[in-house]
Structure 1
């Protein structure tokens, strides 16, 4: 199979910037960058030795285009115009890799429209937050209908990842990411409730988290989120409350599509939604402050 050399990256935010940096650091690809903040893209391009373009159309010569954007609606708007024609006049066979936390139903729809124009869309959302994006050790959940397209993209994805998990057809990666984040949100919500109850009963928060993390209540939340960002008061995990809530709502839709009752998911979605309504665009760890006040 012909080796991919020309890669484009769209979306250079909290996660996209370090992910693009890992691609550049590999030294294996000719990298071009695009972001809605063109000045930021240019500055990053100068730092990485990559070329910044002024619009998505500037990526027309790329063989693989990676996207890291806030929602699947934005992904679609970047890729397709108002009458569902591609905005990027790329060559047939171009592979688009959506690494965003997208809605799997919307992903399948966008993939169908792109396929008509000769593109291949694969979904490859990530887990691991900014810290692991910087280290290049993200976990990737990869869904694809076109196995050959996935194989073309994997050398690019490997520069950002410590593990690629093949989940099945197009959309399954995004479904898995949403369900993973629902589980994480459930742990965060439950641990926060326990922390608040313990504080009111006279327990020390730091002691509680230490015991939870050494006991059967242990999770990523007790190991990484609560100690630094709630107990120590940093509230700077890098994962915004609107994005976390969006992912949980996607998971709720996935569960509804499966046709079964999901009372835990419904409760977590409601709790996250209440915090979002009250707090707006803040780090998700500040939800504890809302729940504590309530």
Structure 2
């Protein structure tokens, strides 16, 4: 099996994945339009190139890009020369984009897998991300070495191309709902004189518990650190995309839509660069020392 791989997009997640692959023995080439991102990757042992077309014909390619539109612009360039076996797209993209890219790649004899990931930068560095996979069975078989390297086997094949992005968007919008609801609940606890941290611990051991109550609020909100590393603008985008994706199939999830609106309000108040856990500033200001204003 070839151990040559390219990573397109060397930001927080892509750079971490490139570094992990290099440490795992892959020969990694990378590209990013940002000179700073390329320089950071070079320091970790990743060989970078200045233009995307230099990566065409690399046997395996991982995409870690900011949006579906960038994926659409990137994939045709990677398919201009023969030699690529599989493209694994870890971007939180859109189902129709993934299906179109899979079809385009198949015409060239290349496997395309949508595999948006969860686990943050820490999971990427450790090679232990969780991936939501959409692909044909044949494409999955070709891409399996890359998926194994990125996730240590923690991925689930959910269906045809695009399925991975459907479920990843649903995962993120459920987290978005929970960040709103847990914040509101802990604010009620505080109003009754109950320590929010104690309330979160109690809830987390019972039926209302979740990763949000067990870790996100205790670690990032109640401590005032807000340093998860995931931007509020990205979560607001993903929540809106989940509702939009539902509408494309005639579904109208009212609770998900209401939560998405709360994220748009937080985006307007705090800006896209705020940490996503700072949603607490707008939905539960009594929990934060600074109220609704970013620190």
TM-score over 0.5 for the pair: yes
Q: Deviations over 1:144-192 (max 9, x none)?
A: 13x3332222112211213120111000001110011111111111101
Unmatched segments (≥5 aa) in structure 2: 286-290
| Corresponding residue to 2:67 among 65, 71, 77 | 71
Alignment of structure 1 residues 166-245 onto 2, 5 Å: 166-245=157-236
Tell me, in whole angstroms, the C-alpha distance in 1 between the residues paired with 2:178 and 2:37: 35
Match of 1:269 in 2: 260
How far residue 60 of structure 1 moved from its aligned partner, in angstroms, is: 1.7
Q: What does residue range 272-291 of structure 1 map to in structure 2 within 5 Å? A: 272-281=263-272, 282-291=274-283
- Contact 2:86 2:139 survives alignment (8 Å): yes
CA distance in 2, matches of 1:261, 1:75: 27
Measured against aligned partners, the alpha-carbon deviations of 1:257-293 in whole angstroms (never above 9, x if no partner) come to 3323311111111111111121112111111112225
* Residue deviations 1:212-254 (CA, integer Å, cap 9, x gap): 2222221111122101110000001111111111111221123
Match of 1:160 in 2: 150
Match of 2:249 in 1: 258
How many angstroms apart in 2 are the aligned matches of 1:93 and 1:131?
A: 29
Partner of 1:120: 111
List structure 1 runs of 4+ shifted beyond 4 angstroms. Answer: none
Alpha-carbon separation, structure 2, partners of 1:41 and 1:157: 23
Residue in 1 aligned with 2:288? Answer: none
Q: Is the 8 A contact 1:16 1:68 kept in 2?
A: yes
Q: What count of residue pairs does the alignment treat as equivalent?
A: 284
Partner Cα separation in structure 1 for residue 218 and residue 173 of structure 2: 21
Q: Unmatched 5+ residue regions in structure 1?
A: 81-85
Aligned residue number for residue 34 of structure 2: 37
Q: Give the root-mean-square deviation of aligned CA atoms.
A: 1.9
The counterpart of 2:4, out of the listed 6, 10, 27, is 6
- Deviation per CA, 1:45-76, whole angstroms, max 9, x where unpaired? 3422x321111111023011100112111212
SS for the counterpart of 2:12 is coil
**Bigger shift: residues 112-121 or 199-208:** 112-121
